[in-house]
Amino acid sequence: MSRKKKGAAFPRLLALLFSFGFSSVIAAAALLVLVFSLHRASAKQLAQGDLTVHEWGTFTSIASPDGRAMEWLPLTGSTDLPSFVEHFRDVAFKGGLRGTVRMETPVIYFYSPHETTVSVHAAFTKGLITEWYPHAASANAALTPQDYALKLMKLPGDITWNSIHIDPHAANDLPSDQSENHYYAARQTASAPLELLTSSGAQREKFLFYRGVASFLPPLAAKLSSDNAVQLRNRFAETIPGVILFERRGTQTGYRVLGPLRDQAVLTLPTLDGSLDSLSAAFEGTLVSEGLFPDEAHAMLETWKSSWFEEGARLIYIIPRPFVDSVLPLHIDPAPANLTRVFAGRLELVTPATQQAVESAFASNDLGTLAKYARFLEPIVYSMIQQTTDEQRQQQLLDSLNNLGELPAKP
């Protein structure tokens, strides 16, 4: 079976699977694993002479009570990245930016049977590029400090890498700061090593890495109804290929899988009797069906599964490729023969269970529980404030947030 035919067959079989209305998500995941095994392909199968480029990343947002993405403060600082990663202005700068979207860990892989040199430029609508590696020729070059109010930006933030030397036969002599960091999982692919010369010497990596924050609305909106159902709405013209509703409370997890979302749908919150193994296999297969190589899909999941499947409730979905291209246009020179871009959306939900857990933790000064929500704690509290007319409760919530000291590391 050719790569092209397998890639076309997978989405059709996936759609057929959901049309049968499987009551058991685990059964669905098992079939997805089987299809995934049939779909396996290797970068070595690429046509000789072709430059192929693959990219994956995540757009993270938080649903406000009205269903739209709310403004929030992305992760303060960048302590979750290796020390060699470069930052815009300074490490803490991103903590002062309020936006609706955090663009997390896009990585760009290159595959070529011979040495080649390319230049890459990415622009981010109503956004700033905040971290990257290797060294970039420029980042946010057209912007001034007055442009850093994201929702008022008229020009996009951007990043440019020039003269990236790609050598499929180069040694994997890559930087490391000896830390245990999810950044390194993205290296576990068959992509060609690349090198970029800087004033301080050569920098080598298996991909181009960058992150950012922005102020635009993601394609998926989600609103909780009074009966604990989640009302989904696709704001974009293109179909969202797939959606997962996930919830975790302590060691218990549950999820519901929705097929393609063209317009609107309603999902009830899952019962907490699911298996992370079956969910991981199903989602990894979905990433492959969208065009990633199996090792890339596995690297993406290994990079983010501890975050995607952490405490709380959220929607994890595939962002339509046209939407990615519209908010994050990517230009590569010379143009590759093949360009695949697969982005996952993550939309946090402030459910009654989350609200109760946070309020109880504030009352008992349970910093361990509060740490589970970490960077989402502020928007969770503001969402709770918006949903009550009790002024005393509103003030108590605000005081609890303002008086909160430094949280311990997440368990």
Within-domain flag for 238: no
Residues 53 and 201 in one domain: yes
Per-residue pLDDT at 271 exceeds 60: yes
Q: Which of 331, 349, 367 is the last residue of a domain?
A: 349
Per-residue pLDDT at 134 exceeds 90: yes
Per-residue pLDDT at 114 exceeds 50: yes
Determine contact, residues 77/91, Cβ cutoff 8 Å: yes
- When pLDDT is averaged across residues 319-326 and rounded to a whole number, the result is 98
Q: Give the CA radius of gyration of the chain.
A: 21
21 vs 150, residue with greater confidence: 150
Within-domain flag for 17: no
- When pLDDT is averaged across residues 319-331 and rounded to a whole number, the result is 98
Residue 102, pLDDT score: 94
Residue 37, pLDDT score: 41
Per-residue pLDDT at 255 exceeds 80: yes
Within-domain flag for 63: yes
Q: How far is CA 211 from CA 58, 102, 159, 232, in A?
A: 10, 8, 10, 27
Percent of the chain at pLDDT exceeding 70: 83
List pLDDT tens digits, range 65-105. 999 999 998 655 445 789 999 988 754 554 467 899 999 99
Q: Which of 349, 369, 394 is the last residue of a domain?
A: 349
- 34 Cβ partners below 8 Å, 6+ apart? none
Determine contact, residues 383/65, Cβ cutoff 8 Å: yes
The CA distance from 181 to 343, in Å, is 21
Within-domain flag for 256: no
Residues 364 and 321 in one domain: no
Per-residue pLDDT at 58 exceeds 60: yes
Going by the DSSP 8-state scheme, the letter that residue 310 receives in this structure is S
Within-domain flag for 3: no
Residue 204, pLDDT score: 97
Residues 359 and 219 in one domain: no
pLDDT range class, residue 14, cuts 50, 70, 90 = very low
Residue 147, pLDDT score: 65
- 365 Cβ partners below 8 Å, 6+ apart? none
Within-domain flag for 36: no
Query: Which tokens go with 368?
Result: 């361990």
Per-residue pLDDT at 10 exceeds 60: no
Residues 98 and 191 in one domain: yes
Going by the DSSP 8-state scheme, the letter that residue 47 receives in this structure is P
List pLDDT tens digits, range 373-385. 988 999 999 999 9
Residues 300 and 365 in one domain: no
Residue 52 β-bridge partners: 111, 338
Per-residue pLDDT at 110 exceeds 80: yes
Residue 49, pLDDT score: 56
The CA distance from 289 to 8, in Å, is 8
- When pLDDT is averaged across residues 273-291 and rounded to a whole number, the result is 95
Domain membership of residue 384 as a residue range? 352-402
List pLDDT tens digits, range 136-168. 999 999 887 766 678 788 889 999 999 999 999
The CA distance from 107 to 343, in Å, is 10
Most distant CA atoms of the chain, gap in Å: 69
> How many Cβ atoms are within 10 Å of 178's Cβ, its own excluded?
7
Residues 309 and 170 in one domain: yes
Determine contact, residues 97/115, Cβ cutoff 8 Å: no
Residue 149, pLDDT score: 76
Determine contact, residues 166/125, Cβ cutoff 8 Å: no
Within-domain flag for 21: no
Residues 148 and 209 in one domain: yes
Please name the residue that has the structure tokens 């590569």.
332
- 374 Cβ partners below 8 Å, 6+ apart? 407, 410
Residue 91, pLDDT score: 44
Determine contact, residues 330/122, Cβ cutoff 8 Å: yes
The CA distance from 189 to 37, in Å, is 17
Residue 64, pLDDT score: 95
Residues 114 and 181 in one domain: yes
Q: Which of 308, 329, 349 is the last residue of a domain?
A: 349
Query: Which tokens go with 13?
Result: 């079989």
Residues 309 and 333 in one domain: yes
Within-domain flag for 35: no
Residues 71 and 165 in one domain: yes
Q: How far is CA 311 from CA 82, 208, 278, 286, in A?
A: 24, 30, 18, 23
Residues 217 and 357 in one domain: no
Residues 323 and 214 in one domain: yes
pLDDT range class, residue 277, cuts 50, 70, 90 = very high
Domains identified in the chain, total number: 2
The CA distance from 344 to 319, in Å, is 6
List pLDDT tens digits, range 187-230. 999 999 999 999 999 999 999 999 999 999 999 999 999 888 99
What DSSP line would sit under 110-158, residue for residue? EE-SS-EEEEEEEEETTEEEEEEES--SEESTT--GGGGSGGG-SS-EE
Determine contact, residues 220/233, Cβ cutoff 8 Å: yes
What DSSP line would sit under 9-34, residue for residue? HHHHHHHHHHHTT-S-HHHHHHHHHH
